[in-house]
Amino acid sequence: MSSNVQDLDGYYRDKFSQIHLEERGLARLDPLCEEIIEKAKNCEDEQLAKWCRQSVTVALYDNWLAPIPIDESYTLPSFPVDVLPDWMKNWVTHVARSYQVDRDLPAMIALGLYAGAMARRVCVSPRPGWVEQICLYQMIILPPGEGKSPVFSEARKPLADTENELISFHRPEIAKKLAEKRALEQQLAKLEKDLSRETDNHDRQVILRDCVAMRIEIEEIGNPTEPRLYCDDTTPERLAALMSENNCRIIMPSSESDGLITAIGRYAESPNLGIILKAWSGEDTRIDRMGKAPTILERPALNIVITAQPSAVDQLLSIQGFRGRGLADRFLYATPRTLAGQRKSNSTQIPADVSQEYAGFMSAAWSMLDTAYPRIMELSEKASARYNKFLDEIEPRLSPDGEYAPIVGFCNKLKSYVLRFSAILNSADTHSESGPVRDKDVDAACQIADYYIQHSYRVLDDAPVDKTASRARRVSSWIKRERVTSFTMEEAGAPLRDAEGNADIQRALNYLSNHNQIRLDENLWQVNPLLLPSERV
């Protein structure tokens, strides 16, 4: 080492030794560090300047490594918003910014609402004999206070407006049919009374023929009801009736899980899962109840997009048959990042043109007339090749010793979901329902599938939930909030009131230590100074 380096080393080591770190706080050394580094910049010897910068850092932070953030969902990917059509992506971005939520939340809601508009009217077919209808069952898991309700209200506006417009449009026709039905019923009652009094056989046959014709006419009118596009809290029987009254399709968008729990059968010992199971695949359904006319659903189509608190998800998964009959595997689960503690008081407004564009495309999709037979969207040659590649990649992972063995039922349903996502993205981007599905649509759908695989794995895997990461995160937040530089294990118990003993606290502290946030010095835990925000003097 040159004499210049030796002089510099000795001078600054003496300066550091004169500083009372405990009194001044580690984070208050910034001005001195800046002074040292500034002097080093004027040094003509590059090696000397480099040594100086490194020595300052090591001396100041005592060989601490950079702390690794504690985030229970840090391994989970973000929703690939960039694969969405521009109009939907713009809306998702501005809604997330305005309501200060993770972009995953509005992205999944918008995708689910658009799927509901296509349901039953459009199907997608990768090859002859294989047809998938457009139905998504999505469950977004978030704790309270994460903006679920306002985002749902914002997303649902075009749907609610379209439903109100349809009700206003059909109301005169409904009133007319109801009036005709009442008049026919009165005439029929009179004819039946005449029939009961008539004794002449020929005249009885004439009256009977008129009664039958009138009865058929009344049956053809049916029970006209105002159109419904969506529902919330409803029983299984009412859900089937709503679908029957609305061309066998409906969507359930809700910021709470109560509606789904009720639809499954909240109070039943044997939940009625049949309609929800069959509506996912469009299987014809016939419901017969004692004393009631049968409810017949041809190609029923149900879309579900709900947000649920973690405790509600546990309740759903514990319902008899929810897992065993395959309903759990039909759902797409996601756990967006929570932004609690990061939100600002002055959020931005959603630009009017962004809201108008979103409302225009969403309303147009929901306003399209249903057809007697669905339009079939086929895959282009390149899209078919891309889809086959996806199948070939995922299949080996489904073996008993494969990566996805714990969620094999879900992954089998995901093969259908990739096709459904492809059709949705194609239609939302091209504003057409005729296809063909492009290879870029399938590629985008595969990216969404990868997202859901990793999120759903966390929900469906039967492995016990480890609370250590959650507790470690709370200790980390406590350190930053209180600017703690050292503490004992007893003091760490303050933010861990749910810990059942010192063993739980010790595991949380070890977890933080493995993330370079703290380390044990005899009986005192020292905090990595890089973890604390700098306070300049």
Please report the domains of the chain, with CATH numbers, ordered by start residue: 3-61 (no CATH), 81-161+277-338+351-460 (3.40.50.300), 468-531 (1.10.10.10)
Most confident of 62-66, 136-140, 347-351, 372-376: 136-140
Whole-number Å distance between alpha carbons of 51 and 340: 41
pLDDT value of residue 347: 82
Summarize pLDDT for 437-474 with one digit per residue, the tens. Answer: 999 999 999 999 999 998 998 888 754 445 777 788 88
Lowest mean pLDDT among 51-65, 146-160, 247-261, 337-351: 51-65
Inform me whether the pLDDT recorded for 43 exceeds 90.
no
Which amino acid would we find at residue 425? L
The neighbour count for residue 10, using CB atoms within 10 Å, is 10
pLDDT over 70, % of the chain: 83
pLDDT confidence bin for 497, thresholds 50/70/90: confident
Q: Which residue's structure tokens are 């990868």?
A: 450
Summarize pLDDT for 171-191 with one digit per residue, the tens. Answer: 999 999 999 999 999 999 999
Structure tokens at 282: 């469009």
Inform me whether the pLDDT recorded for 25 exceeds 60.
no
The backbone torsions φ and ψ at residue 162, rounded to the nearest 5 degrees and listed phi first, read -65, -40
Inform me whether the pLDDT recorded for 405 exceeds 50.
yes
pLDDT confidence bin for 168, thresholds 50/70/90: very high
The more confidently predicted of residues 431 and 262 is: 431
Beta-strand runs (E) in 226-385: 249-254, 285-287, 295-297, 301-308, 332-334, 375-378
Q: Say how many residues make up the chain.
A: 537
**Residue 205 · residue 222 · CB < 8 Å:** no
Residue 239's region, left for phi above 0, alpha for psi from -120 to 50, else beta, is: alpha
pLDDT value of residue 77: 86
The neighbour count for residue 233, using CB atoms within 10 Å, is 15
Query: Nearest Cα to 140, choosing from 104, 116, 101, 96?
Result: 104
Inform me whether the pLDDT recorded for 410 exceeds 90.
yes
Whole-number Å distance between alpha carbons of 459 and 407: 10
Mean pLDDT of 490-501: 85
Summarize pLDDT for 200-221 with one digit per residue, the tens. Answer: 889 899 999 999 999 999 988 8
Most confident of 278-287, 355-364, 457-466: 355-364
pLDDT value of residue 6: 44
Q: Which residue's structure tokens are 């939520």?
A: 101
pLDDT value of residue 343: 77
pLDDT confidence bin for 9, thresholds 50/70/90: very low
Inform me whether the pLDDT recorded for 269 exceeds 80.
no
Angle, CA of 513, 515 and 520, to the nearest 5°: 15
Inform me whether the pLDDT recorded for 503 exceeds 90.
no
Whole-number Å distance between alpha carbons of 366 and 163: 9
pLDDT confidence bin for 2, thresholds 50/70/90: very low
pLDDT confidence bin for 290, thresholds 50/70/90: low
Lowest mean pLDDT among 81-95, 139-153, 449-463: 449-463
- 260 Cβ partners below 8 Å, 6+ apart? 252, 254, 304, 306, 308, 316
The more confidently predicted of residues 332 and 531 is: 332
